[in-house]
Chain A
Amino acid sequence: EVQVVQSGAEVKKPGESLKISCKASGYSFTTYWIGWVRQMPGKGLECMGVIYPGDSDTRYSPSFQGQVTLSVDKSISTAYLQWSSLKASDTAIYYCVRHSEAGGLTSPFDIWGQGTLVTVSS
């Protein structure tokens, strides 16, 4: 079964760092772009950026450039989303997604993780 499974919910304080994960299985991890999507409480979906595990080519959406870092570990088929200094406004559910076409960015998100709730509060 093709799936991505995300790490569990996190509760952090403002200023703390965080790295959440997304483990892929059932397909060739290195040949499909992986993306991250933010959903703030009661709000819509926002694309944060994408990364190609084959060579770590990374593209950030303008609103998220400099705010987060995407990375992968090919050896364990896992993608990561990290923050160096969290803010209360980072409180949201974060979804890991897979682009549906091998090697292709011009494709929709066919596989979604279950979401990771990140709560940032003092």
Chain B
Amino acid sequence: DIQMTQSPSTLSASVGDGVTITCRASQSIGRWLAWYQQKPGKAPKLLIYQASSLESGVPSRFSGSGSGTEFTLTISSLQPDDSATYYCQQYNGYSTFGQGTNVEIK
């Protein structure tokens, strides 16, 4: 299996701050990487696919970058509604997820 490692596990930031989450793959996955947002009691929601493509309807403050083994999700100006857990997922072969990053608003 391809292992996905996210960092940090938790981050706390203020409204308006820019935040970045990193995801590393145990081997190269090209750009076959997605990011999801999950709020408590809800199903995850696709935010970014193919490393940097924004899913329809997702606010432009979310952006993704990277290729190969290192990827980032950036929220340019954190909003109260962004409080959630974020997961990366590789879909090159058997799909696997990172362990998640919990984003809290200070």
A residues with CB within 8 A of B: 35, 44-47, 50, 59, 61-62, 95, 100, 105-110, 112-115
Residues of B within 8 A of A113 (CB): 43
Quick check: B91 and A46 within 8 Å, CB to CB? Answer: no
Q: What is the bound-complex CA distance between A69 and B45, given in angstroms?
A: 26
Cβ-closest chain A residue relative to B32:
A106
Quick check: B92 and A106 within 8 Å, CB to CB? Answer: yes
Quick check: A110 and B97 within 8 Å, CB to CB? Answer: no
Residues of A within 8 A of B38 (CB): 45
Q: Which of A62, A107, A114 neighbours the largest number of chain B CB atoms within 10 Å of its CB?
A: A107
Cβ-closest chain B residue relative to A114:
B43
B residues with CB within 8 A of A: 1, 32, 34, 36, 38, 43-46, 49, 55, 87, 89, 91-92, 94-100
A-B contact count (CB 8 A): 54
Checking B32, B55, B98, B99 against A110 with a beta-carbon cut-off of 8 angstroms, the contacting residue is: B55
Q: What is the bound-complex CA distance between A44 and B36, given in angstroms?
A: 12
A-B contact pairs, 9 of them (CB 8 A): A44-B100, A45-B36, A45-B38, A46-B97, A61-B1, A107-B49, A108-B91, A110-B55, A114-B43
Q: Which of B32, B44, B55, B96 neighbours the largest number of chain A CB atoms within 10 Å of its CB?
A: B44
Interface of B, secondary structure class, is loop
- Given known pairs A44-B87, A44-B100, A62-B1, the reply for A110 and B46 (CB within 8 Å) is yes
Quick check: A62 and B91 within 8 Å, CB to CB? Answer: no
Quick check: A59 and B97 within 8 Å, CB to CB? Answer: no
CB of A47, distance to nearest CB on chain B (Å): 4
Residues of A within 8 A of B89 (CB): 45, 108-109
Q: What is the bound-complex CA distance between A59 and B100, given in angstroms?
A: 24
Quick check: B91 and A107 within 8 Å, CB to CB? Answer: yes
Quick check: A44 and B97 within 8 Å, CB to CB? Answer: yes
CB of A27, distance to nearest CB on chain B (Å): 15
CB of A43, distance to nearest CB on chain B (Å): 9
Quick check: A61 and B94 within 8 Å, CB to CB? Answer: yes
Checking A61, A100, A107, A112 against B44 with a beta-carbon cut-off of 8 angstroms, the contacting residue is: A112
CB of B70, distance to nearest CB on chain A (Å): 18
Q: What is the bound-complex CA distance between A83 and B2, given in angstroms?
A: 26
